[in-house]
Amino acid sequence: MNYTQSKDQLLTLIREGGKLDWTAQVKLAALLSFPSMLAQMVHILMQYIDASMVGSLGAHASASIGLVSTTIWLFGSLCSAASVGFYVQVAHRIGACDFAGARQVLRQSFLACILFALVLSGIGVGISSHLPHWLGGGEDICHDASLYFMFFSLCLPFSMLNSLCAGMLRCSGNMHIPSLLNVGMCLLDVLFNWLLIFPSRTYHLPFNHLPFTDFSSEWSMVNGQWSITIPGAGLGVAGAVLGTAFAFVICSGLMCYFTVVRSKELSLRQDSGTFIPQLSTLRESIRIAAPIAVEHVILCGAQIVSTLIVAPLGTIAIAANSFGITVEALCYMPGYGISDAATTLVGQSLGAGRRLLARSFGHITLSMGMGMMTMMAIVMYTTSPALMTLMTPDATVQQLTVEILRIEAFAEPMFAASIVCYGIFVGARDTLIPCTMNLSSIWLVRIVLAYFLASTMGLRGVWIAMTVELCFRGIIFLLRFRTDSWLKAFSPSAK
């Protein structure tokens, strides 16, 4: 039995009330998690390559991106929150076998989400020239930081379309198409960056004979050896964001095609309906998404405060903090892949009225996430020196980044608990209390500790504060999961 058949048959058992033993549940959780985890891991590899490409330009280039990274995360996460409000509804309707209703929600989501993204894009472009100065950046990095953020803002509608369609496909049970397309996007991003960041350059080949005779003008013979000239735009930091933007444009178009044309459950060719958002759909979307959006705004405010704490520590600290955030994603992105699967499984189970099955899937995905991120933390701890030598030639930045990564590695199991629990709760429409827990944890624990520790321990103190806070957050999420109070957010009639 191939991957698609096995997954579809198991999902059908959820919707139709069939029996799934523990082995079948683990298999289904794995089938949904692994493609998403693969896409997340490839996405991180893309970030590593991006960071190493920019890092080769020097610490100032890396710091210019690191300075605006938290604000970029805010705008991107607001797009993600808006899409969650719609695709969670789709998961519940598919779980209840209401495929026509799922397609109605899909239609209405397009106009609402794209208009929201256009508003965000306009705001981003408007503040791009001022943002680096607001964040305390020096004149040596503000220009590049402004360009990077402006081009990112222009790309937001495509980022929104990609997030929305990928979420719709995942909640229908289709994990492999979003994963494959995101892998393709990562490869395109690397290719475009290679062409746009660097100027034209010549590579000399270690042989003097070619296996072909019909070659273009890019090939030439120098001192008895063949060389090839690769064209490049030489745009530096701006080339990095433009490469990402072009990759998003291509991938979002394909993601939309597979959602509205090829999807068995969601193809809009099967029936007709309005694209104008209806009040009931919008109301439910806002109920789900608003706590997440407010959380992201306040959480990003905390991240920006963290940036303000780090910025006075100097360019080396800013660059090391930026690289540390990028490398740490090696650990937590698998957790987000499993979290996506948890949202789908819990959402469809509760949509089908199967409360006990939703709880069981919660336990399974939580165990998978904590186990996977623990292993990835060990990998990060042992390989971070080698990774940093690839990402930047600056020995001081390398040493400081390795130190902070090894501090944070100990928090990964509890960080996994908070990530996967959050996905479980979202699948049950339980967003308000988890959002409050996230915000309370980061503001009352991380920011307060970072403020006091940075003055005496520098960047290491900031990352110690992060480690303590992530452990605290994981514990409180595990306690909420254990009480089963998250199940009450869905429906009192759930079985």
- Backbone torsion region of residue 224, taken as left when φ is above 0, otherwise alpha when ψ lies between -120 and 50, otherwise beta: left
Higher pLDDT, 271 or 329: 271
Q: State mean pLDDT over 39-65.
A: 70
Q: State mean pLDDT over 63-89.
A: 84
Whole-number pLDDT of residue 4: 52
| pLDDT digit string, tens, across residues 182-223 | 888 888 888 888 888 878 777 666 555 555 545 444 555 555
Query: Which uninterrupted H or E stretch holds 199?
Result: strand 199-204
Does residue 301 register a pLDDT over 80? no
Q: Which residues contact 56 (CB under 8 A, 6 or more apart)?
A: 392, 393
Q: How far is 78 from 160, CA to CA, in rounded Å?
A: 9
| pLDDT digit string, tens, across residues 393-421 | 888 988 999 999 999 999 999 999 999 99
Higher pLDDT, 56 or 375: 375
Whole-number pLDDT of residue 213: 47
Tally of helices (H runs) and strands (E runs) in the chain:
17, 3
| pLDDT digit string, tens, across residues 94-104 | 988 899 999 99
What's at 11, amino acid-wise?
A: L
Least confident of 143-152, 235-244, 361-370, 436-445: 235-244
Is the whole model's pTM more than 0.75, yes or no? Answer: no
Does residue 495 register a pLDDT over 50? no
Does residue 478 register a pLDDT over 60? yes
- Say if strands 219-222 and 199-204 run parallel, antiparallel, or are unpaired: unpaired
Does residue 75 register a pLDDT over 60? yes
Pair of tokens at residue 296: 């992201």
Q: How far is 361 from 349, CA to CA, in rounded Å?
A: 9
Mean pLDDT, the chain, rounded, equals 84
What does DSSP assign to residue 206?
S
Higher pLDDT, 43 or 278: 278
Whole-number pLDDT of residue 226: 62
Higher pLDDT, 45 or 111: 111
Band the pLDDT of 357: cuts 50, 70, 90.
very high
How remote is the C-alpha of 482 from its chain's centroid? 27
Whole-number pLDDT of residue 207: 53
| pLDDT digit string, tens, across residues 16-43 | 888 888 888 888 888 888 877 777 776 6
Q: Are residues 145 and 132 in contact, defined by beta-carbon separation less than 8 angstroms?
A: yes
Q: Which residues contact 379 (CB under 8 A, 6 or more apart)?
A: 330, 331
| pLDDT digit string, tens, across residues 430-459 | 888 998 898 899 899 999 999 999 989 999
| pLDDT digit string, tens, across residues 163-180 | 899 989 988 888 889 888
What's at 414, amino acid-wise?
A: M
CB atoms within 10 A of CB 264: 11
Whole-number pLDDT of residue 223: 55
